[in-house]
């Protein structure tokens, strides 16, 4: 029995000639994925809280076993997670240590234009921290530092911002948005203004 896999970068189907452990559908996808892995800030890659995720966002460990945001034994280093062929991509576990992620869903149109409500959030962030484009290509993840004891979903003029700091993982693409810096900045003032 064979397991159908998707390309780790574009999530398109693998060519039928692909080797069983191939991860990318074509060389351009391999190159793009390796570029993306290098743009993740060191504040994230230095923390051993990486997992893999399937194309349906089920968390798996680097060996393909079940993973959980509540079980540190199922997490790995960034290096090992990048090398793993389990699942379809990378995830980073938020565990309440002060690293947070603001998830702005469906805020980019097909041309990459940012919706007004999301632009307001980005203006408040002020280019101080790393922002990546989400797996679907139409959302943004704003990574940084802040106090966030519980996940929250805030409706802001036409869209919604999900704020996470603990108890879950975030799918990391490494696709840097615009010219945002490769470091994590303080997001507490943004969190306070949203809450
Ligand atoms: Zn591909």
pLDDT in tens, 22-61: 889 999 998 988 888 788 999 999 999 999 999 889 999 9
- Give the range of the structural domain holding residue 143, as residue numbers without chain letter: 41-195
Examine the domain organization and report whether 15 and 49 are in the same domain. Answer: no
Give residue 25 CA to ligand 1 midpoint distance, Å: 4
d(CA 151, CA 162): 7
Ligand 1 center–CA 149 separation, angstroms: 37
Q: Let me know the angle formed at the C-alpha of 195 by 171 and 40, rounded to the nearest 5 degrees.
A: 25
Q: How far apart are CA 99 and CA 16, in angstroms?
A: 41
Measured CA to CA in angstroms, residue 45 lies from 28, 51, 178 at distances of 24, 12, 20
Which residues pair with residue 52 across a beta bridge?
A: 60, 90
Round to whole Å and give the CA distance between 126 and 181. 11
Task: Please check whether residues 10 and 102 belong to one and the same domain.
Answer: no
**Same domain for 166 and 81:** yes
15 alpha carbon – ligand 1 mean position (Å): 10
pLDDT of residue 176: 94
Of the pLDDT bands very low, low, confident and very high (cuts 50, 70, 90), residue 2 is very low
Q: What phi and psi values does residue 3 have, to the nearest 5 degrees?
A: -105, 120
Q: 21 falls in which pLDDT band (50, 70, 90)?
A: confident
Q: Is residue 100 located within the same domain as residue 16? A: no
Number of domains in the chain: 2
Question: Does 1 share its domain with 65?
Answer: no
**Are residue 101 and residue 155 in the same domain, yes or no?**
yes
Do residues 111 and 152 both lie within one domain? yes
* 3 band by pLDDT with thresholds 50, 70 and 90: low
Cα of 180 vs centre of ligand 1, distance in Å, is: 25
The string of pLDDT tens digits covering residues 89-98 is: 999 999 999 9
Check residue 1 and give its pLDDT. 39
- Is residue 76 domain-shared with residue 28, that is, in the same domain? no
Residue 115 and residue 158 in contact, taking contact as beta carbons nearer than 8 Å: yes
Cα-to-centroid distance, 193 and ligand 1 (Å): 39
Alpha helices, H only, 109-187: 116-125
Looking at the structure, tell me whether residues 155 and 92 fall in a common domain.
Answer: yes
The CA–CA distances, whole Å, from 114 to 15, 88, 106, 130 equal 34, 27, 9, 16
Distance 117 CA to ligand 1 centre (A): 32
């Amino acid at each position: 029995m064979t397991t159908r896999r998707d390309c780790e970068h574009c999530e398109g189907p693998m060519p039928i000639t692909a080797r069983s452990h191939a991860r990318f559908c074509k060389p351009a996808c391999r190159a793009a994925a390796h570029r993306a892995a290098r743009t993740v800030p060191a504040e994230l890659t230095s923390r051993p809280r990486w997992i893999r995720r399937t194309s349906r966002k089920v968390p798996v460990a680097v060996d393909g076993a079940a993973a959980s945001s509540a079980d540190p034994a199922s997490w790995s280093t960034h290096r090992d997670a990048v090398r793993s062929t389990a699942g379809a991509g990378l995830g980073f576990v938020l565990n309440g240590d002060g690293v947070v992620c603001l998830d702005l869903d469906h805020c980019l149109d097909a041309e990459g234009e940012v919706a007004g409500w999301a632009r307001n959030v980005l203006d408040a962030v002020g280019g101080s921290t790393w922002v990546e484009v989400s797996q679907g290509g139409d959302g943004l993840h704003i990574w940084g530092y802040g106090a966030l004891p519980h996940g929250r979903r805030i409706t802001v003029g036409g869209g919604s911002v999900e704020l996470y700091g603990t108890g879950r993982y975030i799918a990391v693409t490494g696709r840097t948005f615009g010219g945002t810096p490769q470091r994590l900045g303080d997001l507490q003032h943004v969190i306070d203004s949203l809450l």
